[in-house]
Amino acid sequence: MWGVDIEPKTEEADAGKPFLPSIRTKEENQQNSRPVSYKMSARSAQILLVSSHPEVYEPCDDSFALVDALLADRNNLLEHRPTLCLELGCGSGYVITSLAIMLGQESAGVSYFATDINPHAVRVTKETLEAHGVHAEVLLMDIVSGLERRLAGMVDVMVVNPPYVPTPEDEVGRDGIASAWAGGENGRSVIDRMLPIADKLLSERGWLYMVTLAANNPSQICRMMKEKGYASRIIVQRSTEEESLHVIKFWRDAELQVETKAQTTENRTAVPMEYLLSQIPRLAFWRSGSRSS
Amino acid sequence: MRLLTHNMLSSNIKGVSNGFPLRLDVENSVSKEVEFNPDFLRNMFSKIDWKALVDAARSMGYAELPEEAPDSSMLDSDEFLKKFHHALLELHLDEGALICPETGRRFPVNKA
Ligand SMILES: C[S@@+](CC[C@H](N)C(=O)[O-])C[C@H]1O[C@@H](n2cnc3c(N)ncnc32)[C@H](O)[C@@H]1O
């Protein structure tokens, strides 16, 4: 669908105000031109936002949690040697830029794609990447529509900080900044569209890192993914006064795929206890969280 | 937009049964140097639709790629890999459009 729903919007936007490659296009706007820097960690570079736009999601606790999760898993990622990495909903570009700095570029054997449904986000992401001397192909589309067919089974690392805030369904996917967070019922509307696509795009050895909110019912998301043959682990858990975030990593588990098939015929609703038990230290918070939600 | 990306895109318009590959309408193309990594290229080779890459490179004015899909022994040839590298990663469609092969619908591409 890329282009079909999306391009007409761009053309409109383009008609009045061409997207200049210069990062200074917004300089007049004091509020938007301040370079904001975010400390990643001593091990990695700081990401400087050279550009922003009132309709583009600025890096926030969820973005930091996702990058912290990638940093926490950095050694595994480096060993994993991904060839293709993809971010869905790249916003400011903070996450994909961090990942590209962390894992290196084509010279290190890695290539990056990022998509967003918001044309301003596409532009800001390109500028953020460029300011840090890294490259990703940034594409304007709904989730991955135009890439879905050809990238099937090719993506080794996928990162997503989706719009996850519970909102009325009709706020999902609207123009403007609301589409950065509006997640519909239980905040699951966009997430539930993304997961089957992730399953389709991930390579046999593919990993998915996704941010979720307690209200999204992450344990149910993990059970759903388990039925598709994915194991999961919480890499980062973070609670603020307003929200409780988890960054969950999913990967295909061959044993699980066999086991799940056998299990689903017997008892579809059984909670996989042996799985929960192996995760007790990390899941302690989670069970109480999922009960109350 | 790199030709690697072009190779991964298809037209997803409702009713289109084969939206790949998209045709290129090149108004302006540029070449940007990318560090050469033979291992990356060998990894990518199996994922690439060769004919689509050859045709796309040709519409960008680069006709050095062999028409026939090279067999894997070519992947040991630096000379071949350098051409593949250039077409896949260094050529950029800067300004122009991608065109759906079935409907003729244009998807504009611009550098920003
Ligand atoms: C919570 S923001 C995250 C932005 C950035 N990745 C970060 O972590 O700071 C979610 C992003 O997803 C984008 N988005 C929402 N719905 C989308 C869709 N259907 N397809 C692609 N991107 C979408 C929004 O425009 C927004 O940039």
DSSP structure string for chain A? -TTTTSHHHHHHHHHHS---S-TTTTTT-HHHHS-EEE--BTTBPPEEE----TTSPPP-HHHHHHHHHHHHTHHHHHHH--SEEEEES-TTSHHHHHHHHHH--GGGT-EEEEEES-HHHHHHHHHHHHHTT---EEEESSTTGGGTTTTTTTEEEEEE----B---GGGTT-SSTHHHHB--GGG-HHHHHHHHHHHHHEEEEEEEEEEEEGGG-HHHHHHHHHHTTEEEEEEEEEE-SS-EEEEEEEEE-HHHHHHHHHHHHH-TT---HHHHHHTHHHHHHHHHHHHH-
pLDDT at residue A275, as a whole number: 37
pLDDT at A232: 97
Comparing alpha-carbon positions, the chain B residue that sits nearest to A124 is B112
DSSP code of B22?
P
Whether B30 has its CB under 8 Å from any CB of chain A: the answer is no
A154:B47 CB<8 A: yes
Domain locations along chain A: 11-288
> Which of B6, B9, B36 should one mutate to test binding to chain A, selecting the residue with the greatest count of A CBs within 10 A?
B9
- Cβ contacts of A149 on chain B, cutoff 8 Å: 10, 12, 19-20
Residue B96 pLDDT > 50, yes or no?
A: yes
Q: Verify whether the Cβ–Cβ distance A21 to B112 is below 8 Å.
A: yes
pLDDT score of A192: 97
Please tell me the predicted confidence (pLDDT) of residue A263.
Answer: 52
Predicted pLDDT of residue A3: 32
Q: Touching check for A26 and chain B: CB below 8 Å?
A: no
B36 CB burial (10 A radius; 0-12, 13-18, 19+): middle
Query: What's the confidence (pLDDT) of residue A279?
Result: 35
Residue-level pLDDT at A40:
44
What pairing do the DSSP bridges indicate for beta strands A84-88 and A155-160? Answer: parallel
B29 contact A CB<8A:
no
Distance spanning both ends of chain A, measured CA to CA: 34
Q: How far apart are CA A100 and CA A134, in angstroms?
A: 7
Task: Please choose from A40, A68, A190, A192 the residue to mutate so as to test ligand 1's pocket, defined by most ligand atoms within 8 A of CB.
Answer: A190
Q: Order of strands, edge to edge, in the sheet holding A84-88?
A: A137-140, A111-116, A84-88, A155-160, A202-213, A244-252, A230-239
- What amino acid occupies position A182? A
Q: Which CATH class is domain A11-288?
A: alpha beta
Is the CB of residue B31 less than 8 Å away from at least one CB of chain A?
no
Those residues with Cβ within 8 angstroms of residue A278's Cβ, 6 or more apart along the chain or in another chain: none
CA distance A180 to A90: 10
> Is there a contact between A221 and A202 (Cβ–Cβ < 8 Å)?
no
Q: Return the SS3 of B8.
A: helix
Domain architecture of chain B: domains with CATH: 3-109 (2.20.25.10)
Report how far ligand 1's centroid is from the alpha carbon of A89 (Å): 3
Q: What is the ipTM of this complex?
A: 0.94
Q: In whole angstroms, what is the distance from residue A247 CA to residue A252 CA?
A: 17
- B99 phi, psi to nearest 5 deg: -125, 130
Contact A2 B9 (CB under 8 A): yes
**For position A241, what pLDDT does the model report?**
81
Contact: B49, A19; criterion CB under 8 Å: no
Q: What is the pLDDT of residue A257?
A: 67
| A111 in B contact zone (CB under 8 Å) | yes
pLDDT in tens, chain A (293 residues): 333 232 323 333 333 322 222 222 222 333 333 444 444 443 344 777 777 888 999 999 999 999 999 999 999 999 999 999 999 999 999 999 999 999 999 889 999 999 999 999 999 999 999 999 999 999 999 999 999 999 999 999 999 999 999 999 999 988 888 899 999 999 999 999 999 999 999 999 999 999 999 999 999 999 999 999 999 999 999 998 888 999 999 999 987 766 655 554 444 443 333 333 333 333 322 333 333 33
Query: For residue A86, what are the β-bridge partners?
Result: A113, A158
Q: How far is the CA of A188 from the centre of ligand 1 (A)?
A: 14
Residue B112 has a pLDDT of 58
Supply B21's token pair.
């590959």
Q: What is the pLDDT of residue B110?
A: 83
Q: Are A129 and A93 in contact (CB under 8 A)?
A: yes
Q: Look at the alpha carbons of A141, A146, A147, A149 in this order and tell me if their dihedral is positive or negative.
A: positive
DSSP three-state, residue B36: coil
- Name the band, by pLDDT with cuts 50, 70 and 90, for residue B4: very high
